[in-house]
Amino acid sequence: MNCPKCQGTMEEGFQVDYGHYNARKVTEWVEGEPQPSFWSGVSLGGVARLPIQVWRCQSCGYLESYARQTTAKL
Ligand SMILES: [Zn+2]
């Protein structure tokens, strides 16, 4: 895959969230608009969630994100 901005080489990666006790977790795409929850910050009941793959251009640093249905759950 080449960068859409500068045609440089893209490398695969992912974004990390830090939870309680700095537990690391792959950032997810979540269907719909965020619904505030008193207990957990944002409610995720019954909505689709997908891990986000992020490709980074080694030349200019451009980031491109994908939330593919076929990606293995992390
Ligand atoms: Zn680039």
Specify the number of domains making up the chain: 1
Residue 66 CA to ligand 1 centre (angstroms): 17
pLDDT of residue 2: 95
Question: Per residue in 23-65, pLDDT tens?
Answer: 999 999 999 998 888 888 888 888 889 999 999 999 999 999 9
Residue 68 CA to ligand 1 centre (angstroms): 22
pLDDT of residue 42: 85
Residue 43, in any domain of the structure: yes
Residue 73, in any domain of the structure: no
**Across-strand partners of 29?**
50
Residue 9 CA to ligand 1 centre (angstroms): 7
Question: Per residue in 3-22, pLDDT tens?
Answer: 999 999 999 999 999 988 88
Those residues whose beta carbon sits under 5 angstroms from the ion ligand 1 are 3, 5-6, 8, 57, 59-60, 62
Q: Tell me the whole-structure pTM to 2 decimals.
A: 0.74
Which structural domain range is residue 51 located in? 10-66
- DSSP symbols for the chain: -B-TTT-PBEEEEE-EEE-GGG-EEE-EEESSS-EEETTTEEE-TT--EEEPEEEEETTT--EEEE--TTSPP-
Residue 57, in any domain of the structure: yes
pLDDT of residue 53: 94
For residues 67-72, give the mean pLDDT.
71
In angstroms, the CA 16 to CA 6 distance is: 26
